[in-house]
């Protein structure tokens, strides 16, 4: 019998999607950053993410406040990737029995601050007991029909753009794993590009947030749009701090940018004639959409990797 580690996260999602029927009120179901529901004037966005102790956070490195903050940000980033605004959140947490009350309250404080900062209200949820601290957040948002951005709308010859530096979160994770201090802020307290996404949404074709690395996100756009892509390695934006961290740890920071994830930047495609609309946003053009194939271009042309997979251990 196949194991999840053999199947992979994204093949599992495909199997799940095949089991559930949609209905006429669902514009887009399983397969994008959010589900999209039809309304009279706008679309409703719905997304959810689960964080599990040991996989998504480590109690030795992160404070409970940081864990609460992150659990909200990862969901709001999905709403941002669709061009929308977060409105309401539902929080469910499984607490081990030996967790102190102050610890739990600090988690909720982090959630509250992240929610307030991004204009969202927590309206309900659930708590229960579990062997591992596990947090599931569901966020409901809204987006105007003309601003809706999905993975499946890329067109041939679109420019592939990134909203900011990549690899910075994974650099922090590797420092923490090595027991070293340094450039860890982006991992411990990530940010999302909600305001940027709202400004660029009217102009882009396809968009996705960087949860699992540039390779993975470009791959998702290709899958949903039925196109190919090429990414120019030398154009992938990596900050000097991230490069220095790579040197100190003897790890190529390009690996973090392509396959690390949790940077929560935006990857989007835009027609060349609309790129002038990006003035002031300073996106980095890293490649273009092709008819087929997925390539990483450097001194030679090779296939673009798949990025991070939660079941790949």
- Domain locations in the chain? 4-146, 150-303
Name the H helices within the chain: 4-7, 9-19, 64-81, 101-117, 168-177, 185-188, 194-200, 214-225, 240-249, 253-259
Q: Note the pLDDT of residue 19.
A: 56
**Nearest partner of 47 among 58, 30, 34, judged by Cα:** 34
Residue-level pLDDT at 206: 99
Contacts of 273 (CB under 8 A, 6+ apart): none
Whole-number pLDDT of residue 299:
59
- φ, ψ for residue 140 (rounded to 5)? -110, 130
Distance CA 161, CA 107 (A): 34
Write the CATH number of the domain with boundaries 4-146.
3.30.1330.10
> Which numeric CATH code is attached to 150-303?
3.90.650.10
Task: Give the pLDDT of the chain (313 residues) as one tens digit per residue.
Answer: 556 466 665 665 676 566 546 667 778 776 777 778 777 678 999 999 999 999 899 999 999 999 999 999 999 999 999 999 999 898 998 988 788 888 888 998 999 999 999 999 888 788 888 899 999 999 999 999 999 999 999 999 999 999 999 999 999 999 999 999 888 999 999 999 999 999 999 999 999 999 999 999 999 999 999 999 999 999 999 999 999 999 999 999 999 999 999 999 999 999 999 999 999 999 999 999 999 999 998 856 566 665 544 434 4
CA distance 222 to 205: 13
Say how many C-beta atoms besides its own lie within 10 A of residue 173's C-beta. 19
SS3 assignment, position 168: helix
pLDDT of residue 101: 81
Query: In this predicted structure, what is the pLDDT of residue 217?
Result: 97
Quick one: the chain helix, strand, coil %, rounded to 5? 35, 25, 35
Residue 32: the pLDDT is 77
Q: Quick one: pLDDT at residue 311?
A: 34
pTM of the model: 0.86
């Amino acid at each position: 019998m196949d194991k999840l580690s053999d199947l992979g996260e994204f093949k599992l999602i495909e199997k799940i999607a095949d089991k559930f029927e949609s209905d006429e009120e669902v514009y887009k179901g399983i397969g994008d950053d959010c589900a999209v529901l039809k309304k009279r004037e706008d679309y409703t966005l719905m997304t959810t993410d689960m964080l599990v102790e040991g996989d998504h956070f480590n109690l030795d490195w992160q404070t409970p406040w940081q864990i609460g903050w992150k659990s909200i940000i990862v969901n709001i980033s999905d709403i941002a990737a669709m061009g929308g605004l977060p409105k309401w959140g539902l929080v469910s947490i499984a607490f081990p029995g030996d967790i102190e009350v102050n610890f739990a309250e600090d988690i909720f404080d982090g959630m509250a601050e992240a929610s307030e900062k991004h204009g969202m209200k927590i309206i309900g949820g659930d708590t229960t007991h579990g062997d591992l601290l596990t947090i599931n957040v569901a966020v409901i948002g809204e987006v105007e029909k003309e601003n809706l951005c999905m993975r499946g709308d890329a067109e041939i010859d679109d420019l592939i753009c990134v909203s900011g530096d990549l690899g910075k979160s994974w650099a922090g994770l590797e420092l923490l794993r090595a027991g070293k201090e340094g450039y860890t802020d982006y991992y411990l307290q990530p940010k999302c590009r909600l305001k940027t996404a709202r400004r660029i949404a009217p102009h882009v074709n396809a968009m996705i947030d960087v949860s699992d690395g540039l390779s993975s996100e470009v791959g998702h756009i290709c899958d949903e749009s039925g196109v190919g892509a090429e990414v120019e390695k030398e154009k992938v934006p990596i900050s000097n701090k991230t490069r220095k961290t790579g040197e100190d740890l003897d790890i190529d920071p390009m690996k973090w940018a392509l396959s690390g994830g949790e940077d929560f930047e935006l990857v989007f495609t835009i027609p060349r004639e609309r790129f002038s609309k990006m003035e002031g946003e300073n996106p980095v053009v890293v490649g273009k959409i092709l008819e087929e194939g997925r390539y990483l271009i450097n001194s030679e042309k090779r296939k673009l990797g798949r990025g991070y997979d939660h079941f790949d251990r």
